[in-house]
Structure 1
Amino acid sequence: MSRSPARTARRGLAAALVLALPLALGACGGGESTDEGAGGATEITVGVIPIVDVAPIYLGVEKGFFKAEGLDVDLELAQGGAAIIPAVATGRYQFGFSNTTSLLLAQTQDLPVKVVTAGVNATDDPAADMAGVLVRADSDITSPKDLEGKKVAVNTLKNISTTTTNELVRQDGGDPTKIEYVELAFPEIGPAIEKGDVDAGQVVEPFLTIGTQGGMTDLGSNFVAADPGLAVAEYFTSTDYADSDADTVAAFTRAMNESLDYAQQHPDEVKKILPTYTDIDGSVLAELNTPQWTSEIDAASIQRLADLSKADGLFAKDPDADALLP
């Protein structure tokens, strides 16, 4: 396992952290080199989120894939991928996990981040994905088009959740510009739907299964609507670290790729390791939908997200997905 227990990072709005990142960079400067740990191993810190998506890296640490590459890994928990970006860009973490849209936003702001490998992908099945849009069982919303004029909760405004939900509605013949989005943390979305504070909510696992087990209706996967097998997130480093510690980046990428492929091939082991870093209930764990993991970066899918995000007006300038990728 990792050198020390995962520590919960400071809480804050993910979008605000991305917008504040240029100030953080000015204050903290460039990346830092890693230290040498016990037995000559290179110590690295990786920023992750306590969700199903990052199970492969926990498996990789447990299975010794990183140790075999000479890496001593410390996994640090953060509230969201956008919060991890400043820590990587300023050298606090050597690597991090973040959703594709947040990384594209960082790239359009000329922030020094570079993808090193894939992170997590959606499935190809809108009815069996790790993401979905929930409504109450007695709701008059029966299809994505009905979200027009409704209040919909998402975990971060103007990010991957809104962009992909917009596409889900658009494909069903609705007008997503008429949706009122409300920002709530994932654990708060289900209760807000039940109380009627919002009409619907976009969630990921385990909150999707928690909601459906509680009687809510899933309108389908917004991720699959955007692109079957959508490249939802990636692992990344800073451009400074990629230049100064290329051998460590290559070692991390090899170990991470082995971890991703292992997780895809061993779903039972994925479910066994989830309780070591999450609080998922056993009944939910048994039924939740796992995503797809692959060691191949899907550049076309990342470009698809870039195009959808641009159409939604998320970027101040056109993103350059090629510059973000290895």
Structure 2
Amino acid sequence: MNTSRRLATLALASLAATIALLPLGAQAQTTKIKMVLNWKYEGPQAWFFLAQDKGYFKAEGLDVEIDQGEGSAASIPKVASGAYQAGFGDLNAVIDLATKRPAEAPVGVYMLYNTPPFTIVVKQDSPIKGPADLEGKTVGGPANDGALKLFPAFAKLAKLDATKVKITNMAPNLREQMLARDQVDATFGYVTTVSFSAKAMGMDPAKDLRFIRYGAHGMDLYSNAVFFSRPFVKDNPQAVAGFVKALNRAIADVIANPDAGIDAVMKREPLLKREVEKERLLATLRNDMSHPEVARIGLGDVDDKRLARGIEILVDANQLARTPASAEVFDRSFLPPREQRPAKLF
């Protein structure tokens, strides 16, 4: 071996030894992300946990911590405040904040609930047959419920005088009980959430309840999406893209094998009833995530015209000061290519 080659070999060996002695974080930088969910651990969050367990986040250089939430609207201010970098919750609450404090509003990066789940629920024998019948009645819901937050917009579209409806708040776990006991005339909620809570009480939602769905009255709105704080998106675009890539990969896994997703959920909360959570997951895929547009644009994306209409509905109904552009509340630039995202969930 000549002198120059010997020196090069020694230099490489020295560099390798130096790298081996460096702390792990100096060899490969890991970005920490704290994420807050929409609600307590449940079946329809399976993909987040599976992405953790299968190392998909880790493969993208991410250390993701996932906390339980307190409602689909409650996660937005937690991300806006900087307490969390990422969240899963109602995009309409993001829009509302973007109209008032655009610099603080998070930005959506992956749409999951593309079919409006918002509803007002009544008992099957209730005299309330349509929106107008709510006047003079009491409607209850948790303070951070997405359907309650959207009620002013719903009332305007449905030609209902919202000032004649009494709104009362209750803890989420009391919603179906208070309805069953006639302590309220109706409740706000998400169709799937209320249905499974009613089942847990021994009710048959198909026979015992009726659902006045917002989507049937002109509110074809998007709902829960993954979003990030605006400063984090600006400073860590590669981390956001990596998170979305890992999540998309895990969603495809859950669609192909729901039981694997439920395994991941049960690891977080062993006291859950496995079969109930699997049924809840499948119902969410079927009812909340399978808008016809998915076949055209793929899961995760939004239709710009549809999103713009939704923004206009909220701004007009709530008399908000400004109309944010679609790009202010949803950024598709982090999405994997169309062919890599699910186009059919069943």
TM-score, with structure 2 as normaliser: 0.68
Q: Which residue of 2 aligns with 1:15?
A: none
Q: Distance in 2 between matches of 1:138 and 1:156?
A: 26
Instruction: State how 1:63-102 maps to structure 2 within 5 Å.
Output: 63-102=54-93
Whether 2:300 is the aligned partner of 1:308: answer no
1:321 to 312, 319, 326: 326
Q: Distance in 1 between matches of 2:108 and 2:25?
A: 22
Deviations 1:198-247 (A, max 9, x none): 1011223333233265143122433565555x420222222222222222
2:170 to 175, 180, 184: 184
Q: Which residue of 2 aligns with 1:208?
A: 195
Structure 1, 62-71 or 279-288: larger mean CA deviation: 279-288
TM-score, with structure 1 as normaliser: 0.72
CA 269–143 in structure 1, closer or farther in 2 if over 3 Å, else same: farther
Larger Rg over CA atoms: 2
Q: Which residue of 1 aligns with 2:214?
A: 222
Size of the alignment, in residue pairs? 285
Give the secondary structure class of the aligned counterpart of 1:146.
helix
Q: Distance in 2 between matches of 1:37 and 1:151?
A: 59
CA 120–105 in structure 1, closer or farther in 2 if over 3 Å, else same: same
Q: Could you tell me which amino acid in structure 1 is paired with residue 76 of structure 2?
A: I
Give the superposition deviation at 1:318: 2.9
2:37 to 29, 48, 62: 48
Q: Which residue of 2 aligns with 1:232?
A: 223
Give the secondary structure class of the aligned counterpart of 1:57.
helix
Q: Could you tell me which amino acid in structure 2 is paired with residue 43 of structure 1?
A: K
Q: Which residue of 2 aligns with 1:140?
A: 127
Instruction: State how 1:17-36 maps to structure 2 within 5 Å.
Output: 36=25
Q: Could you tell me which amino acid in structure 2 is paired with residue 251 of structure 1?
A: G
Q: Which residue of 1 aligns with 2:102?
A: 110
Question: Is the contact made by 2:153 and 2:313 (CA closer than 8 Å) also made in structure 1?
Answer: no
Q: Distance in 1 between matches of 2:311 and 2:249?
A: 27
Structure 1, 238-247 or 308-317: larger mean CA deviation: 308-317
Q: Which residue of 1 aligns with 2:289?
A: 292
CA 123–237 in structure 1, closer or farther in 2 if over 3 Å, else same: closer
**Gapped regions of structure 2 (runs ≥ 5):** 1-23, 291-298, 332-346
Percent of residue pairs identical: 22
Give the secondary structure class of the aligned counterpart of 2:301.
coil
Question: Is the contact made by 1:84 and 1:97 (CA closer than 8 Å) also made in structure 2?
Answer: yes
**Gapped regions of structure 1 (runs ≥ 5):** 1-34, 125-129
Give the superposition deviation at 1:88: 2.6
Q: Distance in 1 between matches of 2:178 and 2:27?
A: 48
Give the secondary structure class of the aligned counterpart of 1:242.
helix
Question: Is the contact made by 1:164 and 1:223 (CA closer than 8 Å) also made in structure 2?
Answer: no
Q: Which residue of 2 aligns with 1:193?
A: 179
Give the superposition deviation at 1:286: 5.6
Q: Which structure shows the bigger proportion of residues in helix conformation? A: 2
Give the secondary structure class of the aligned counterpart of 1:252.
helix
CA 282–252 in structure 1, closer or farther in 2 if over 3 Å, else same: closer
